[in-house]
Each structure stands twice: as C-alpha cells, then as structure tokens.
Amino acid sequence: MKSGLGWLSASPSSLFMNTIAFWTFLLLGCMCIGGYFMFRKFLKVLPKADGKSKLDWQNYWVERSRPLWSDESKAFLDQLVQPVPGPFRDIAKHSIAAEIGRIAIESNASEVTRDHCIKGYISATPRRDSKFLIQFLEKNHIDYSPYRHLMK
C-alpha cells in the first residue's frame, strides 16, 4: 500500500525546470542590459579633470545658450532628432542642443542659426551612427558638405 504523501518525493517535471531556467536567463539578460545603460549614465556624471562632469557641461551650455534660440532653430532641432527612438529623444535632444549652444557661443553668434544646428548635430552624433546621419540629412535635403570633415 502506498503512502498518501509519496507524491511529495517525486522530482519536479522537466517542463517546470526548463521554465525556471528560461526565466533565470531572461532576467539575468535584462539586468545586464539595464546595468550597461546605468553604468553609461554613471560615467557621464563622473567629474573630469576640470571638476565638471559631461552632464554638468551639457547643462551649462544649454542654459547659457537658451536666449540665443529662436523658434525656427528650435523647430529645426526637433526635426533633427526625429529619427531618434521616442524613449531616448529627450536625452538626445538635450545633448545635441548643448553642442549646438557651445558652438554658437564660441562663435560669438547673436542667435542659433541653421548652420550652428547642422554643425552641432553632426558633432554630437556618435561616429558609429554616421551612416544613419548621412542618410537622414540626404533624405531631408540638408546640405552638410561644409561639415563633412566632422564625420571622420
């Protein structure tokens, strides 16, 4: 005669074990991906040799150049960041605006022009994205020939 609790000593089914293994690897993968992006953000906040972080400098240039932006240049910046995926668009817009502001201020401009926007957009775009940058500029009929040297 079998005991009423004999089923407790049976090993778990292979489907259950495979499901646990799958979720373990999925969660570890997600945590690694999230950790990578968090680490990148952490590196941006670390102070450089001058005592300010990359994020501090971006905020500085955006705030300092704020009065130089016209409605036309803001609209052009919005057009430039359209290819960036939605969740990252605000961050990309802030970094590109900081670079555009830096370029405009260093050239002693009275306002941010279309040329400043194109030059800042090219300078702020990572080298690995140059192919997409060129495709986007050509698709929108934006002349980038004076700034081609910045893409190398």
My answer on whether 72 and 142 are in the same domain is yes
- pLDDT tens for the chain, 152 residues long, are 555 665 565 677 889 899 999 999 999 999 999 999 888 878 878 888 888 888 899 999 999 999 999 999 999 999 989 888 888 889 889 999 999 999 999 999 899 988 899 899 888 888 888 888 888 888 988 888 888 887 76
Q: Give the pLDDT score at 6.
A: 58
Are 135 and 82 spatial neighbours (Cβ–Cβ below 8 Å)?
Answer: no
Phi and psi at residue 147, in whole multiples of 5°?
-115, 15
Residue 1 maps to a domain: no
My answer on whether 78 and 137 are in the same domain is yes
The distance of Cα 117 from the centroid of its chain, to the nearest Å, equals: 18
My answer on whether 16 and 52 are in the same domain is no
Residue 33, token pair as written in the block: 């991906």
Q: Give the pLDDT score at 8.
A: 61
Q: Give the pLDDT score at 95.
A: 92
Q: Residues near 122 by Cβ (< 8 Å), separated by ≥ 6?
A: 133, 144, 147, 150, 151
Give the whole-angstrom CA distance, residue 68 versus residue 58. Answer: 16
Domain count along the chain: 2
Rounded to 5°, the CA angle 146-150-152 comes to: 120
CA distances from residue 108 to 41, 65, 132 in whole angstroms, order as listed: 31, 11, 31
Residue 144, token pair as written in the block: 């980038």
Q: Give the pLDDT score at 20.
A: 94
My answer on whether 32 and 60 are in the same domain is no
Range of the domain at 132: 48-151
* DSSP symbol at 145: G
Give the whole-angstrom CA distance, residue 3 versus residue 13. Answer: 21
> Is the full-model pTM beyond 0.85?
no
- Of 97, 125, 100, residue with least CA distance to 115: 100
